[in-house]
């Protein structure tokens, strides 16, 4: 089993059909298959063989896609690195993974050069740079014998295809080993539940170094034989224009993207024609009830929220039928995924009670690279401990809701408080655009429930006492914030995920 083989088979079947349109240039399935074959020859000539790790730090580009598919086709392991990582971060990833090859551009090479020379990492640039004497892909492709291309796809189901490093907000980043089985199982499930076909046109506005942009959007589209319109970067006005002009049917984004899109919608002199759109999908961070409602009010579309993570790919999804989607919920487990909620002792909770989400299925990763103890801690009797808190609604088919991270649990005066519950209430306040709730050290209560609030446009200030009272009418007193702080913008990472650790440092 090999993901690149699956996509090769699709390419053979669809030939001249448009696969990716990147910044106006059209690549057919046959074009992509040919380029992947050429790049595979180059990687082999560079000494890459099955199991070798190849790190990419690139902006969004077609070379990233060709390299990634080519690397998997010869059994290599892709290490996609965030394009914003600085030298110290890249040094950790290359050193920890033992990467054989690093592919980047001239600007990043100049920044990382001393570190790369220290480790003796073979480096290739995607384009020529007059000030840098490093071999380029274009030169290698010109010199390589690409007339006869042989890709043997030398992998077993459980061989590692990709190592994705977690964001590392609570310590050193961990390299999640994602296998070919994991990727293909998720692809098949998503194709079925989202009714993905060769007739779809997906607008791709996400980075390629992340699970959402790479595993879900790109792999999923190529597996379905559909067409991808790929933008180098996200621009709200351009998104609305493209959805209208290109008759797109699918789009995936993070909540921050949808927030900016709905803000842009109000400024549009003429609203786009979205009659071709099937579904807007959101993930990588929680979608607020407020934003769900705002987007529906503006466009008429109910965003489909799903739940996934680096270690598992996608786990749950709301219904494809818009009437079956509920704001605040992440839907139901995918067909190939088993899910249960357990208490601190590992026993399943009564449906409706909050506990830790445990997952099992072919989507679940192999373990953490070179961290056997951490891997062992993360599994219980074959179930992966997600670290996410959640509950299932017994009166709605065991629909899944998330309640935050287990490490975010607040214990105040001996009571357990789940931040998500308070955030959901606060976001119904007329002045609140978004918020984050956390526990800060307190001599009296142990931890003090603290809310950090971003106000909507038009609200220059708000009364924190009134907001606390607002919560007290809707929540038990011990759950209500003792303090409310105001901020212009919540800190987020590249994928729009809230960085509560930064807020804790700011306000503790």
194 with 314, same domain?
yes
258 with 348, same domain?
yes
CA distances from 24 to 32, 67, 410 (A): 15, 21, 50
138 with 258, same domain?
no
Question: Among 373, 406, 439, where does a domain finish?
Answer: 406
Structure tokens at 455: 């106000």
Structure tokens at 70: 């080519």
Domain count for the chain, please give it: 3
Q: Is the pLDDT of residue 169 over 60?
A: no
Q: Is the pLDDT of residue 168 over 70?
A: no
* Phi-psi sector, 423: left (phi>0), alpha (psi -120 to 50), beta: alpha
391 with 426, same domain?
no
Domain CATH number, residue 98: 3.40.50.980
How many other C-beta atoms can be found within 10 angstroms of the C-beta atom of residue 47?
10
* Residue whose C-alpha is closest to residue 176's, from 312, 2, 314: 312
- 3-class DSSP state for residue 484? strand
Is 134:122 a contact under the CB 8 Å cutoff?
A: no
pLDDT of 328: 93
375 with 271, same domain?
yes
119 with 199, same domain?
no
Query: Which helix (H) or strand (E) segment is 440 a member of?
Result: strand 432-442
Highest mean pLDDT out of 106-110, 358-362, 489-493: 358-362
- 3-class DSSP state for residue 167? coil
> Does the residue 168 lie in any domain?
no
Q: In DSSP terms, which residues pair with 227 in a beta bridge?
A: 201
Pairing, β 18-22 against β 77-80? unpaired
Q: Is the pLDDT of residue 495 over 80?
A: no
Is 368:175 a contact under the CB 8 Å cutoff?
A: yes
* Phi-psi sector, 225: left (phi>0), alpha (psi -120 to 50), beta: left
> Does the residue 496 lie in any domain?
yes
pLDDT of 179: 99
- 83-126 per-position pLDDT tens digit: 988 898 899 999 999 999 999 999 999 999 999 999 899 999 99
> Does the residue 457 lie in any domain?
yes
Cα–Cα distance, 38 to 151 (Å, whole number): 10
- Greater model confidence, 284 or 321: 321
> Does the residue 131 lie in any domain?
yes
How many other C-beta atoms can be found within 10 angstroms of the C-beta atom of residue 347?
8
232 with 269, same domain?
yes
377 with 299, same domain?
yes
Q: Is the pLDDT of residue 505 over 50?
A: yes
> Does the residue 165 lie in any domain?
no
Question: Among 356, 391, 406, where does a domain finish?
Answer: 406
394 with 471, same domain?
no
Query: Mean pLDDT of all residues in the chain?
Result: 93
* Phi-psi sector, 378: left (phi>0), alpha (psi -120 to 50), beta: alpha
Helix 289-299 vs helix 255-265: crossing angle, to nearest 10: 40
Is 183:3 a contact under the CB 8 Å cutoff?
A: yes
Domain CATH number, residue 437: 3.30.300.30
> Does the residue 170 lie in any domain?
no
Q: Is the pLDDT of residue 357 over 70?
A: yes
466 with 491, same domain?
yes
> Does the residue 223 lie in any domain?
yes
- 41-79 per-position pLDDT tens digit: 999 999 999 999 999 999 999 999 999 999 999 999 999
Question: Among 155, 172, 204, where does a domain finish?
Answer: 155
Q: In DSSP terms, which residues pair with 331 in a beta bridge?
A: 400
* C-alpha count within 13 angstroms, C-beta hemisphere, residue 358: 19
240 with 265, same domain?
yes
Domain range holding 324?
183-406
269 with 402, same domain?
yes
> Does the residue 167 lie in any domain?
no
Please report which confidence band the pLDDT of residue 130 belongs to, taking 50, 70 and 90 as the band edges: low
């Amino acid at each position: 089993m090999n993901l690149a083989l699956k996509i090769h088979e699709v390419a053979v079947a669809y030939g001249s059909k448009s696969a990716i349109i990147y910044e106006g240039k059209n690549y057919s399935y046959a074009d992509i298959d040919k380029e992947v074959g050429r790049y595979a020859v180059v990687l082999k000539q560079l000494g890459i063989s099955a199991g070798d790790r190849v790190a990419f730090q690139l902006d969004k580009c077609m070379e990233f896609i060709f390299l990634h598919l080519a690397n998997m086709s010869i059994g290599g392991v892709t290490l996609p690195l965030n394009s914003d990582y600085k030298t110290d971060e890249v040094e950790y990833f290359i050193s920890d993974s033992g990467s054989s090859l690093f592919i980047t551009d001239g600007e990043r090479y100049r920044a990382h050069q001393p570190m790369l020379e220290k480790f003796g990492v073979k480096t290739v640039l995607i384009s020529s740079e007059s000030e840098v004497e490093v071999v380029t892909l274009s030169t290698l492709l010109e010199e390589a014998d690409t007339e006869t291309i042989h890709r043997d796809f030398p992998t077993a189901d459980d061989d590692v295809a990709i190592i994705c490093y977690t964001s590392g907000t609570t310590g050193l980043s961990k390299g999640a080993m994602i296998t070919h089985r994991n990727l293909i199982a998720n692809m098949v499930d998503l194709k079925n539940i989202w009714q993905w076909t060769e007739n779809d046109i997906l607008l791709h506005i996400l980075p390629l170094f992340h699970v959402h942009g790479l595993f879900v959007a790109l792999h999923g589209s190529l597996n379905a034989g559909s067409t991808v319109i790929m933008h180098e970067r996200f621009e709200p006005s351009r998104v609305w224009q493209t959805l209208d002009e290109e008759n797109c049917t699918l789009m995936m984004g993070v909540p921050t993207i949808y927030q900016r899109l709905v803000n842009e919608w109000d400024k549009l002199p003429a609203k786009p024609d979205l009659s071709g759109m099937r579904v807007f999908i959101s993930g990588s961070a929680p979608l607020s009830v407020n934003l769900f409602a705002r987007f529906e009010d503006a466009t008429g579309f109910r965003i489909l929220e799903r739940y996934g993570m680096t270690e598992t790919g996608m786990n749950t999804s709301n219904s494809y039928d818009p009437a079956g989607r509920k704001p605040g919920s992440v839907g139901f487990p995918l067909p190939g995924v088993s899910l249960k909620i357990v208490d601190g002792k590992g026993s399943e909770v009564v449906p409706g009670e909050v506990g830790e989400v445990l997952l099992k299925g072919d989507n679940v990763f192999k373990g953490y690279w070179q961290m056997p103890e951490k891997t062992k801690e993360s599994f219980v009797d074959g179930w992966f401990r997600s670290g996410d808190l959640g509950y299932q609604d017994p009166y709605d088919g065991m629909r899944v809701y998330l309640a935050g991270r287990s490490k975010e649990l607040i214990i105040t005066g001996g009571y357990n408080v789940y931040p998500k519950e308070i955030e959901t209430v606060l976001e119904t306040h007329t002045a609140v655009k978004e918020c984050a709730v956390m526990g800060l050290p307190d001599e009296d209560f142990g931890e003090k429930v603290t809310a950090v609030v971003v106000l909507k446009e038009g609200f220059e200030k708000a009364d924190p006492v009134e907001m606390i009272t607002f919560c007290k009418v809707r929540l038990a007193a011990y759950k209500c914030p003792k303090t409310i702080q105001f901020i212009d913008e919540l800190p987020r990472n590249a994928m729009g995920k809230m960085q509560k650790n930064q807020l804790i440092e700011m306000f503790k």
